[in-house]
Amino acid sequence: MNIFIRELKANRKALIIWCIGVVFLVGSGMSKYAGMYSSGQSMNNLMADLPKSLQAMFGVGGLDLSKVSGYYGILFIYLLVMATIHAAMLGSSILSKEERDKTSEFLMVKPVSRNQVLSAKLCAAIMNVIIFNVVMLVSSIGLVNPYAKGENVIPDILLLMGGMFILQLLFLMLGMAIAAISKHPKRAVSLSTGILLATFILSMMIDISGQIDALKYVTPFKYFEAKQVMYGGGYDPVFVILSVVIIAVSLFATYYFYNKRDLTV
Amino acid sequence: MNVIEIDHLTKTYGQARGITDLSFTVEKGEIFGFIGPNGAGKSTTIRTLLGLIHPTSGSAKIFGKDIIQHGPEIKREIGYLPSEVFYYDNMKVKDLLKYSASFYNKDCSKRIKELAEVMDLDLSKKIDDLSLGNKKKVGIVQGLLHGPKLIILDEPTSGLDPLMQQKFFELLEQENKKGATILFSSHILSEVQRLCNRVAIVKEGKLIQLEKISTLKESNYKRFKIETKTPVSAGYFRMVGVNELKEEGQHVSFLYKGNINEVMRKIAAIEIQNVWVEEPDLEEIFMHYYEKED
């Protein structure tokens, strides 16, 4: 319990800054929408004129931009990147920082097992991710609803945030597993975010090329795409199962390897 | 009763050597010195005992319990002071000590105050504002606040001024009188000589010697350096107890063990310019131990 509370305190400041960033990103994204909407331009036409690769880069593919939910679908990709970067960094740093700052020689000689340390840190990290997600949810609903024009956006946003939460957990656990396995704690955070960016770029390349569709199983950014979640009838069970499997494997690897390996001191 | 039992403990880092086939025991109530030059494997041994790293082969027991199976349970009664102390920078000393105490199911606030007073430590400061010596003091308080039965110290005096070292040693002696066993690792022979009952000497990962301090004191080595007015005849100082004799014209140096009067008479018999009599450093004693092994 003491480690859990300590971790919440240690991450409090960073979390507040991230949350301000979230509100700011949603807010500025929606103000752009307000500007576009009032100028009377049809965003669908505007986007349709763009080459397909550019459309893919903006993440438009198949979203109805005349509705605020469609616009939010585009914004969601950036929110998702932000949330997963936060989760991946948090997951790897919450574990590797003890070795990086050489405080493991303090913590690990206390009468606690490595499993207890892992569990406390994991709970604290999940708590952070939940707060992040709730802030995202509340600010999204609060800032999107004024433009809804009678459209009920809340169910869509709830669904998207649910998908985001699964991906947050996925990258959190992936980051933690990397920190648990890696013998070079200083590299754990950069490795985790590196993997994240690589899979994100892969997901864009899938959209652009249109021919490497099979790779969508490799990149989590394809698991809960806005158009699938909003127009395709919710979550695809294949991807939900895939996510759960990745999370479970990472969780197992974290506990297994962290118990086995020598700590860097 | 043995507090620490190390049994054929080996730890290798890939190809690099850590410790090789190390065995010794530390008895209850003793202050046990653990000395060796840098890189001898002292810290590796200690970190293995504390479960920070895992042994490659062999095993060790603390309080009769296996260090790996019963790690957390054993550590309830261990206080540890690492050679370099690192703490969470953005914490206050007070908060860090409270955090440290929260791991032990007892009220340590009174003891924290006492120890801080003895060590002259300001509890309200932030950790990152502290000097190296003051951080070390935090480490000392942190290691002793729960009244551990086994105190493990890894080169604990670095960064402490002589006055604080003195106070720290007194503190250790008090804890020892109360029944605590102490494992004291160091590369400074004099502090080990002062505190410890027995001493294990390690070099290159191996145990070279395990002796009582009293025995070690008998082997009282002195390093002599003599500058003479005229070159001395070769072999003038070749006598019983003289080792590593070097004669270079007017400069003579050697390591001497034995009756000091005899060598002084020898020196007095010749015309000298200058003389230095020094405590040999640890390295030289180790060299000697190696010679004895051959």
- Residues A218-238 have a mean pLDDT of 84
How far apart CA A159 and CA A138 sit, in angstroms, is 13
Per the model's pLDDT, the better-predicted residue between A210 and A237 turns out to be A237
Do residue A106 and residue B54 have CB atoms under 8 angstroms apart? no
Question: Which one of 3.30.70, 2.30.30, 3.30.230, 2.70.98 gives the CATH number of domain B219-293?
Answer: 3.30.70
In a domain, residue A22? The reply is yes
Q: What range does the domain containing A104 cover?
A: 2-260
Do the beta carbons of residue A149 and residue A36 sit within 8 Å?
no
pLDDT digits 0-9 by tens, B203-220: 888 888 787 877 766 667
Q: Check pLDDT > 90 for residue A40.
A: no
pLDDT digits 0-9 by tens, B27-36: 999 999 988 8
pLDDT digits 0-9 by tens, A166-194: 999 999 999 999 999 988 888 899 999 99
At residue B199 the predicted structure's pLDDT band, cuts being 50, 70 and 90, is confident
How far apart CA B1 and CA B5 sit, in angstroms, is 10
Q: Check pLDDT > 70 for residue B24.
A: yes
Q: Which two tokens stand for residue A67?
A: 């509705």
B-chain residues near A101 (CB < 8 A): 86, 88-89
- Residues A240-244 have a mean pLDDT of 93
Closest-CA residue in chain A for B13?
A262
Q: Check pLDDT > 90 for residue B245.
A: no
For B52-117, the three-class secondary structure string (H helix, E strand, C coil) is CCCCCEEEEEECCEECCCCHHHHHCCEEEECCCCCCCCCCEHHHHHHHHHCCCCCCCHHHHHHHHH
Of B192, B195, B165, the closest CA to residue B177 belongs to B195
Task: Give domain limits for chain B.
Answer: 2-217, 219-293
Q: Check pLDDT > 60 for residue B292.
A: no
Token pair 């919450």: residue:
A94
Q: Check pLDDT > 60 for residue B283.
A: no
Query: In the CATH hierarchy, which fold is given to the domain comprising B2-217?
Result: Rossmann fold (3.40.50)
Query: Whole-number mean pLDDT of chain B?
Result: 86
- Residues B268-285 have a mean pLDDT of 79
For chain A, give the DSSP string: -HHHHHHHHHHHHHHHHHHHHHHHHHHHHHHHHHHHHHTT--HHHHHHTS-HHHHHHHT-TT--TTSHHHHHHHHHHHHHHHHHHHHHHHHHHHHHHHHHTTTHHHHTTSS--HHHHHHHHHHHHHHHHHHHHHHHHHHHHHHHGGG-TT---HHHHHHHHHHHHHHHHHHHHHHHHHHHH-S-HHHHHHHHHHHHHHHHHHHHHHHHHSS-GGGGGT-GGGTT-HHHHHHTTS--HHHHHHHHHHHHHHHHHHHHHHHHSPPP-
- Residue B195 is predicted with a pLDDT of 85
Token pair 């065995």: residue:
B23
Closest-CA residue in chain A for B139?
A106
How far apart CA B172 and CA B175 sit, in angstroms, is 5
Q: Check pLDDT > 50 for residue B294.
A: no
- In angstroms, the separation between the Cα of residue B73 and the nearest Cα of chain A is 6
The count of structural domains within chain A is: 1
At residue B293 the predicted structure's pLDDT band, cuts being 50, 70 and 90, is very low
pLDDT digits 0-9 by tens, B106-145: 888 889 999 999 888 898 999 988 888 889 999 999 999 9
A-chain residues near B76 (CB < 8 A): 111
Query: Whole-number mean pLDDT of chain A?
Result: 88
- Residue A132 is predicted with a pLDDT of 95
- Residues A45-69 have a mean pLDDT of 73
Lowest mean pLDDT across A38-42, B33-37, B176-180: A38-42
Give whichever of A122-131, B18-27, B122-131, B164-173 has the largest mean pLDDT.
Answer: A122-131
- Residues A153-175 have a mean pLDDT of 92
* C-alpha angle B200-B205-B207 in degrees, rounded to nearest 5: 30
- Residues B261-269 have a mean pLDDT of 88
Do residue B102 and residue A111 have CB atoms under 8 angstroms apart? no
- Residue B175 is predicted with a pLDDT of 92
Q: Check pLDDT > 70 for residue A39.
A: no
CB proximity list for A207: less than 8 A, separation 6 or greater = A56, A57, A59, A61
Per the model's pLDDT, the better-predicted residue between A74 and A118 turns out to be A118
A-chain residues near B103 (CB < 8 A): 2, 110-112
Q: Check pLDDT > 90 for residue B201.
A: no
- Residue A95 is predicted with a pLDDT of 92
Of A83, A89, A50, A74, the closest CA to residue A179 belongs to A89
At residue B281 the predicted structure's pLDDT band, cuts being 50, 70 and 90, is low
- Residues A49-59 have a mean pLDDT of 72
Of B109, B162, B108, the closest CA to residue B133 belongs to B162
Lowest mean pLDDT across A177-181, A252-256, A259-263, B235-239: B235-239
Token pair 């690897």: residue:
A253
Candidates A3, A106, A118, A260: best to mutate against B (most CBs of B within 10 A) is A106
Count of Cβ atoms closer than 10 Å to residue A248 Cβ? 11
A-chain residues near B86 (CB < 8 A): 101-103, 105-106
Helix (H, G, I), strand (E, B) or coil at B290: helix
- Residue B79 is predicted with a pLDDT of 93
Domain B2-217 and domain B219-293 have a common topology:
no
Do residue A111 and residue B89 have CB atoms under 8 angstroms apart? no
Q: Is the ipTM of this complex over 0.85?
A: no
Percent of all residues in chain A with a pLDDT value above 90, rounded to a whole number = 51
pLDDT digits 0-9 by tens, B60-93: 999 999 998 998 999 999 999 998 888 888 889 9
- Residue B235 is predicted with a pLDDT of 82
Q: Which residues of A190-222 are buried (b: 16+ CB within 10 A; e: fewer)?
A: ebbbebbeebbebbbbbbbeeeeeeebeebbbb
Candidates A110, A115, A183: best to mutate against B (most CBs of B within 10 A) is A110
Do residue B75 and residue A109 have CB atoms under 8 angstroms apart? yes
In a domain, residue A265? The reply is no
